[in-house]
């Protein structure tokens, strides 16, 4: 059984395709193109809406792990920053263990952690530690990019779709039997 959001999106897509698209004058190809982009994005939303919570959990886990790794890489030269990153990691792990944690809380802590990691790059004064932290962030970004490529694959904007890992390799995905 689908929820009201999924059914509503399905209905909107059908209405736009069946009623609005045919009503667009033939001499207005831009309007037709724009409407088709809206329909495609609504279809994408319908496909991904049930995975938004899993996405928020994935992102928080990703940034928490990256914070923990960067904290360890700082060594003695960044002891205060290392403790701060460890605290962010622990807060994230605690939130991820909390059954039914609000999606807004997951997103907010992921954003806080990401912001802290970005600021960290301007604070590290030890060149060797900075190089290690930068490398960890760049390497981690590859995994996040792979996730985003998978997440947005249904939009059909991917140049090499055959190279994209399935979404289930990142988050639990259950087919709701659409």
Neighbours of 79 (CB within 10 A): 11
Report for 72-76, 110-114, 126-130, 171-175: range of highest mean pLDDT: 110-114
CA distance 29 to 50: 33
Higher-confidence position of 1 and 142: 142
Q: Average pLDDT of 63-68?
A: 97
User: Between the CA of residue 36 and those of 18, 31, 117, what are the distances in Å?
Assistant: 12, 9, 38
pLDDT given for residue 3 in this prediction: 78
Confidence band for 87, pLDDT divided at 50, 70 and 90: very high
Q: In the predicted model, is pLDDT for residue 178 greater than 70?
A: no
> Does the pLDDT at position 2 exceed 70?
no
Provide the CB-side half-sphere exposure for 147 (13 A, CA).
17
Per-residue model confidence as pLDDT tens digits over 142-155: 999 999 999 999 99
pLDDT on residue 1: 43
pLDDT at 20 over 90: yes
Would you state the pLDDT for residue 78? Answer: 86
CA 85 to chain centre: 21
Residue-range domain boundaries for the chain: 4-51, 52-153
pTM of the model: 0.86
User: DSSP alpha helices (H): ranges in 49-97?
Assistant: 52-74, 79-97
Sign of CA dihedral 58, 60, 63, 67: negative
């Amino acid at each position: 059984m689908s929820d009201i959001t999924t059914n509503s999106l399905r209905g909107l897509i059908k209405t736009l395709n069946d009623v609005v698209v045919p009503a667009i004058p033939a001499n207005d190809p831009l309007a037709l193109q724009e409407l088709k982009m809206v329909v495609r994005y609504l279809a994408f939303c319908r496909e991904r809406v049930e995975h938004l919570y899993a996405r928020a959990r994935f992102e928080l886990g990703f940034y928490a792990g990256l914070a923990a790794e960067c904290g360890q890489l700082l060594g003695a030269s960044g002891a205060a920053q290392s403790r701060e990153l460890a605290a962010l990691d622990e807060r994230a792990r605690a939130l991820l263990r909390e059954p039914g944690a609000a999606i807004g809380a997951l997103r907010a802590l992921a954003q806080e952690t990401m912001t802290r990691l970005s600021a960290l790059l301007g604070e590290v004064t030890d060149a060797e530690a900075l190089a290690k932290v930068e490398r960890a962030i760049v390497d981690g970004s590859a995994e996040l990019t792979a996730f985003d490529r998978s997440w947005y694959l249904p939009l059909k904007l991917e140049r090499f779709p055959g190279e994209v890992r399935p979404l289930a390799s990142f988050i639990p995905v259950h087919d709701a039997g659409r």
